[in-house]
Structure 1
Amino acid sequence: MAAVTELSFLLFALINYIHAQEQIIIRQKGHPYTFFLPENTNSCLISRSVGEEKLVLWNTSDLWSNSSSVPEHLKQRLDSDVDTSSYTILNLTHSDSGPYREECWTEGNVTHDNNITITVCTTLTHGIAISARLGEPVDLPCEGAADNLDVQWLKQDSRYEQETWSRVFGDNTTSVMDNDRGRYQVVTNTSALRVSNVTTTDFTEYNCLVMNQQQCVSSYSVELILHYKMIYRSVEETAVLPCTITDSTDEQPPRWSKRISGQELHNQTDPSVDQNYSLVFSSLMLNHSGWYSCKASRIEQHYLLAVCPKFGPPAVELFSEGEEVTLRCRDWGKGGDHDWFIKSNRTEGRIFSVRSDQRMSRVSWYDNGSLVISNISVGDAGEYWCVVYDYDYQCVSTERTVLVWL
């Protein structure tokens, strides 16, 4: 029985490996696709499979042979550049979708062997970026999906220089991207891709192909990015920005940089990078405000650090349970942007950003500088800051209000 179980596991792993090795190229109808073959080879062959038939598109030993099996309508759309070892199919049609193979030989030995699948879609759309937090679920939308059409989800494969994709699902129910088969699911009503328990390997681009009888109607790509974190501090305080996207398989250590200036921060003394690759500020100054990015592999983790002068006495607002309270940021128009931060009594002194951290359904943040808390309760008591930035994200002003329970 144990042997059967082990055999089943190995078979599943092999199927996963085969799916993971498949390269899928997505191109729009009417656009070209170019095969780039390695140089310094004796001969190369590019072929396409149509059912049981194998069509030879190019044979570098005998270009445009009269005995070629390529249909005349396709041969008229083939172009080659021997100097760059590139071969192009012009004006792609839906009929060009399918599996292709590149093979090259040097002195009788196979030196290049590559299988790809070209998918030609009527339309290609680059969608919005969706942010998510590590360990939490997220739904990636599929624009253009309808009840009577099939949907295929793809995940961008970063192993290759050109844009390639791998299948998220081998069929409608089995995920081939993770061993537990459960972290990726398609939402029935919307065709969205639900990723549960997000990990660092999930932060890449995804593509939803809307199919109609094996023909790609539309391609809609969505990028999954790590949700940025906002941090508020006063001058002379300390701050630590963790880099939690590191992986033991990364060849290079994470690199810190500051947006706007593009300054590399890995070797700086203030701030410094500790043994855990966290960015450490020992005594904050006003010019430390700004966007910071930790980059490892192809993933970036972003922070917006707001460093403001030490604030004066706060305003005091009294409230009773069930009321609606509106806090106003008087200086919101002096800068390019502003944010609200909360330190409620139930967060043990920690400060949270309304925009990037809080998920209180009763708190609303508006562009006119107001913060509205509806159906207020004793748990909402605490300190509230409005921070105003200039266009370089330097702190222009800060206002503090203390909510006191009656």
Structure 2
Amino acid sequence: MSVSTRTVTDICREAKRAARALAQLDTASKDGALHAMADALLARTGEVLEANARDLEAGREAGLSSALMDRLRLDEARVAAMAAGVRQVAALPDPVGEVIDGHRLPNGLDVRKVRVPLGVVGVVYEARPNVTIDAAALCLMSGNAIILRGSSSAAHSNAVLAGIAADAAPAGTVQLLSGGREELAELATQEGLVDLVIPRGGEGLKAALREVATVPVIYAASGNCHVYVDASADLDAAVRIAVNAKVQRPGVCNAAETLLVHADAARDFLPRVAAALGAEGVQLRGDQRARAIAEMGEASDEDWETEYLALVLAVGVVDSLEDAIDHVNRFGSGHSEAIVTRDTASARAFQRGVDAACVYVNASTRFTDGGEFGMGAEIGNSTQKLHARGPIGLRELCTFKYLVEGDGHVRP
């Protein structure tokens, strides 16, 4: 592994050279490297946790929020889950060379559209050391060299994890930057060397990239996610889904931040869900109609557009499915949205009307995850509409080319 004692341009050039060789690597060799990575993670768990303990101590001294500390924290189970995710990636079909489409033209030319690696992918992320391994594994399997630029709050963890990934991967295909903010601008302007940058972090990180980036960027966006309880909802299921979506892991982007309830269900549902959420330590902030039914604080205009990443939930009462869809499309970030209903027409209308990467019927928003979707892992969740939307997995890390074969053909 190369750490940024050299210039960013030098590192990008090395990654570009490595990417050309990696693009030609056979599936068995990539699988072998991934299993070696997983084995090393398990064998070096103690080293990983020791480095993570140093980051956690620094985080406590710096006053990081509980949500950030949860993202930063590793334990044996999380390291084992990272290793399992790497093996799941190895078990997936190799996307490189996959024929997407093919046909013979009337003139006899054979045209195939095949999947190919992007080349060099830069991944910029905050206090999530697991992203180091997830991103490295996905890029290796998809034939891309990767340049990792993690947060200083996870510097010790990332250094060990990137070293494990680099030792298992072909030379030069895993690079780690470890300098300051100026490296971000350098990485994002390496035209001709870096093919894509994926930022995974808060709005400040994204804003910093938008100001300087000259290479393509896919933003792994924030999640202002909603659960809407329709008039016909099974209220027992709705309580379970609302609690899970908010509480199961509140500091992540697929956690619910707003609960919307149809007026016809509100009087029966809100006291029940308020008690269940209150028992889990959730602070509720409701509109006037919600506060008239259940005890909670007052929601401000800012609450509807806030990604709390904490045990705080905005609550609103709406008069119709259409009002719920309008609210979601106005305030949501396009990440993950859910409806709880027993009415098929309402479910289909919500699916068609909500503009988001992932739309759920009678299920928690917490399932938006590459691992849960069978992708093995993910680099992030895109809320953009071009190239990649939702979990960014193997296929989203590829582009395509047309292979055209003829027999002495010339165009008349």
In the superposition, the TM-score normalised over structure 1's length comes to: 0.24
Q: Which has the larger radius of gyration?
A: 1
Structure 2 length as normaliser, TM-score? Answer: 0.24
Query: Counting strand residues as a fraction of each chain, which structure ranks higher?
Result: 1
Which one scores higher on RCO, CA 8 angstroms, separation ≥ 6? Answer: 2
Q: Higher helix fraction: Structure 1 or Structure 2?
A: 2
